[in-house]
Structure 1
Amino acid sequence: MHIPFSSSPSSSLGIEWELELVDLQSRHLRGSATEILEDLRAKVGEEGAAKAKHELFESTIEVITGVCQTVPEATADLLGTVEVLRDLAERRGIGLMCSGTHPISEYSTQKITADDRYDRLVGRMQWLARRLLIFGVHVHVGVRSPEKAMPIVNALMSYIPHFLALSASSPYWLGSHTGLASSRSRVFESLPTAGLPYPLHDWAAFEGFMETLVTAGTIETIREVWWDIRPHPNFGTVELRICDGLPTLLEVGAVAALAQCIVDRMNTQLDRGYRLPAPQRWVVQENKWRAARYGLDAEIMVDDHGTVRPVRTDITDLVEDLLPVARRLGCETELTNVDRILTAGASYTRQELAARRAGGDLTAVVDTLLAEMNAGRPVTHG
């Protein structure tokens, strides 16, 4: 099975941001995506409307950038679309927010978007699909050739706990505290073609793997393989899908800068003949669990012998190491905003603080997430 790969000449960038539509009175999700997207099309035309689209549930709109070269360009692109959507939503008494899960809404009350693709997904996956009331941020970074795609995907698995800990924003599920920093990651990986990628050593192995899945009827297209990190042949990118939904544009920009810098460095290392290290799958699996459970307080394994290190320390050192790359790519400010997340706490800790301050009332968590979305940065209280 030949899968053409549209190689990117540079470490270009694209971001997808899944937003929740929240009734400002009840604070529950509200299924109004079709109406809002129709309003958007009427206001900005087809080209502008292409930057926002349906997701599985009618209570979600995904905002999409074009192909960007820098993180500031990508975040400005997102903000332009979000500002129009915010105005259209507020006219209907709806607010926009983002988190890995909605703190109080239940999947059983949500309307599935009318679409043949989603109908087939639910028909095949049943309960596993119907409970996918989860939200994420996906970052695409350009890769220069298909030969580089799988080595970069494999090497990026070392950073799964870093991205998950920084973005963890789903401590609540169906109105209850889960005890996890990221419950979303556990819900999503229940799908048979989601979760950690398989360690395929080159593009031919990837093509062979996908041919097997299609021939067996496991998937119809390669779009139905929802790995935490995957190559995207049409875009010529690697796509990081591990992140929970990020509540603020500052956090989206910080995670995007981290992703672009890491992938750009790997692109360069491969150009110079360097062989990228690929971690053992069992180490990655354990580290992903630790990040999902403990977030930025996780201690992750840094070798095959069980040596552990605080993920917070590893992230700090990684940012410092990547600063020369960030300066060259024009995203130094955004990369150093990772330190602001470490100081303010990832979203799961801010949500838990809001709940404690409100005596356990989770509508206060929704209010905090709405306020952060509007502010564009984490809101902290002394």
Structure 2
Amino acid sequence: MQIPFHSSERSSLGVEWELQLIDPQSRELTAGATEILADITPDGLDEHPKAKHELLQSTIEIITGVCTTVGEAKADLAGTLAEVVAAAERRGLGVMCAGSHPFTRWDSQQISPKERYAQLVERMQWLARRLQIFGVHVHVGVQSPEKAIPIVNALSQYLPHFLALSASSPFWAGCDTGLASSRTKVFEGMPTGGLPHQLADWAEFEEYMETLIRAGAIESVREVWWDVRPHPDFGTVELRVCDGLPTLDEIGAVAALAQCLVEQFDTQLDRGYTLPAPTEWVLRENKWRAVRYGLDAEIVVDEQGTVAPVRQEIAHLVEELMPVARRLGCEAELADVTRVLAVGASYQRQRAVAAAADGDLLPVVDSLLAEMRDGLPAASPARP
């Protein structure tokens, strides 16, 4: 089975952002996507070019076009976000983002009226119905399928870094899960979700996809929901591990980190280097540690079991990638990674708000609505 890879401009960028629709009185997730999308879709079009349905009626996904820089991608998202927010406000709704809603129950939600979602729920049942989770996906363009698989393998080493930075789902159905990212464990319930398989090259990827399709495990490559995967239609490597992020500042930070890493790997391949393919047990262990402890995780940094704080590893990575960021024009956005380290990831900020309110989660929703409007706070709620 041949899978055409539609080559992209090197290190081009695309971002997908899944937004939550909120009733400002109850602070619950609430349906409204169909009406909002109908409101903002230009006349003569069947759907908005940059705002889409997701599985739940309480979710709208906004997407960029093909961008050159992180700043361009942020501006693209901001324009569509403004349309969605204005249409939501006309209906008395708010807009926010986090990997999970702090207390809305998944079984209270309406499924979007699209055939593909009905088919997904029919096939996956409870696994699909409970997908009341929200993420950010970053696509980075690569020019050939021969580069895509080595870059996916190498990028998987940094999944705990991205997950720790973006973790924003400490609460599930009103309970503190004790995890930084409960979204990750919910999504791992899907048969093709989770860590990518370590494949040798594009031919092995094609063979694996053909086997899955022949076995009836999937109908198309799009149903392989790995944490990082090649996207043949777009000609990209797609990073899918990140929780939903409350602010454009944080989206810019993770997008810059992704773009710089892919560009560095691309350059190393051009120079004849063999990119690292991390050991599976290390990937699995490090992902779990990021899920559980977020920025306080200590991750395994070699096959002998040496550990180091992920916070320290992220800081070193930013320093290492800064020359790449200067070439790509995303130096300011990459520097925002250190702002997140200073103020705390969203899961930490949410817990601080809840603690200050004696466990009340309504103020957590209010804080997420405020961050969507105002951006990354200057200081953590726990830090005066």
Scaled by the length of structure 2, what TM-score is found? 0.98
State the alpha-carbon separation in 2 of the partners of residues 279 and 219 from structure 1.
26
Q: By how many angstroms is 1:259 displaced?
A: 0.2
Alignment of 1:281-300 (within 5 A): 281-300=280-299
Q: Which residue of 2 aligns with 1:60?
A: 59
Opposite residue 316 of structure 1, the aligned amino acid is A
Q: By how many angstroms is 1:359 displaced?
A: 1.1
Q: By how many angstroms is 1:46 displaced?
A: 3.6
State the alpha-carbon separation in 1 of the partners of residues 101 and 45 from structure 2.
30
Q: Secondary structure at the match of 2:41?
A: helix
Between stretches 1-10 and 202-211, larger displacement belongs to 1-10
Alignment of 1:124-203 (within 5 A): 124-203=123-202
1:338-371 CA-to-partner distances (Å, cap 9, x unmatched) read 0000000000000000101111110110000000
Is there any run of 5+ residues in structure 2 with no aligned partner, and where?
none
**1:138, 1:239 within 8 Å by CA — same for their partners in 2?**
yes
Alignment of 1:264-303 (within 5 A): 264-303=263-302
Alignment of 1:64-75 (within 5 A): 64-75=63-74
Once superposed, what is the RMSD of the aligned Cα atoms?
1.1
Q: Secondary structure at the match of 1:134?
A: coil
- State the percentage of identical aligned residues: 66
Q: Which residue of 1 aligns with 2:11?
A: 11
**1:248, 1:378 within 8 Å by CA — same for their partners in 2?**
no
Is there any run of 5+ residues in structure 1 with no aligned partner, and where?
none
Q: Which residue of 2 aligns with 1:213?
A: 212
State the alpha-carbon separation in 2 of the partners of residues 174 and 315 from structure 1.
31
Q: Secondary structure at the match of 1:226?
A: coil
State the alpha-carbon separation in 2 of the partners of residues 95 and 162 from structure 1.
30
State the alpha-carbon separation in 2 of the partners of residues 101 and 282 from structure 1.
27
Q: Secondary structure at the match of 1:231?
A: strand
Q: Secondary structure at the match of 1:63?
A: strand
Opposite residue 338 of structure 2, the aligned amino acid is D
State the alpha-carbon separation in 1 of the partners of residues 318 and 330 from structure 2.
12
Q: Which residue of 2 aligns with 1:79?
A: 78
Q: Secondary structure at the match of 1:58?
A: coil
State the alpha-carbon separation in 1 of the partners of residues 286 and 203 from structure 2.
28
Q: By how many angstroms is 1:8 displaced?
A: 1.6
1:170-224 CA-to-partner distances (Å, cap 9, x unmatched) read 0000010000000000100111101001001100000000000101111111111
Opposite residue 214 of structure 1, the aligned amino acid is I
1:227-281 CA-to-partner distances (Å, cap 9, x unmatched) read 0000000100000000000000000000000000000010111011110011001
1:282-308 CA-to-partner distances (Å, cap 9, x unmatched) read 100000000000000000000001000
State the alpha-carbon separation in 2 of the partners of residues 338 and 322 from structure 1.
12
Opposite residue 249 of structure 2, the aligned amino acid is L
1:62-81 CA-to-partner distances (Å, cap 9, x unmatched) read 00000000000000000000
Opposite residue 305 of structure 1, the aligned amino acid is Q
Q: Which residue of 2 aligns with 1:333?
A: 332
Q: Secondary structure at the match of 2:305?
A: coil
State the alpha-carbon separation in 2 of the partners of residues 48 and 314 from structure 1.
42
Verify: 1:33 aligned to 2:33, yes or no.
yes
Q: By how many angstroms is 1:376 displaced?
A: 2.1
State the alpha-carbon separation in 1 of the partners of residues 268 and 37 from structure 2.
42
Opposite residue 284 of structure 2, the aligned amino acid is Q
State the alpha-carbon separation in 2 of the partners of residues 238 and 105 from structure 1.
33
Q: By how many angstroms is 1:91 displaced?
A: 1.1
Opposite residue 324 of structure 1, the aligned amino acid is P
Q: Secondary structure at the match of 2:110?
A: coil
**2:260, 2:324 within 8 Å by CA — same for their partners in 1?**
yes
Alignment size in residue pairs? 381
Verify: 1:49 aligned to 2:31, yes or no.
no
Q: By how many angstroms is 1:378 displaced?
A: 3.2
Q: Which residue of 1 aligns with 2:97?
A: 98
**2:136, 2:245 within 8 Å by CA — same for their partners in 1?**
yes
Opposite residue 5 of structure 1, the aligned amino acid is F
Opposite residue 89 of structure 2, the aligned amino acid is E
Q: Secondary structure at the match of 2:138?
A: strand
Alignment of 1:229-268 (within 5 A): 229-268=228-267
**2:106, 2:132 within 8 Å by CA — same for their partners in 1?**
yes
Scaled by the length of structure 1, what TM-score is found? 0.98
State the alpha-carbon separation in 1 of the partners of residues 95 and 274 from structure 2.
43
Between stretches 307-316 and 8-17, larger displacement belongs to 8-17
**2:37, 2:47 within 8 Å by CA — same for their partners in 1?**
no
State the alpha-carbon separation in 1 of the partners of residues 93 and 78 from structure 2.
18
State the alpha-carbon separation in 2 of the partners of residues 313 and 377 from structure 1.
21
State the alpha-carbon separation in 1 of the partners of residues 189 and 83 from structure 2.
35
Q: Secondary structure at the match of 1:14?
A: strand
**1:71, 1:256 within 8 Å by CA — same for their partners in 2?**
yes
Q: Which residue of 1 aligns with 2:322?
A: 323
State the alpha-carbon separation in 1 of the partners of residues 41 and 320 from structure 2.
43
Q: Secondary structure at the match of 1:11?
A: coil
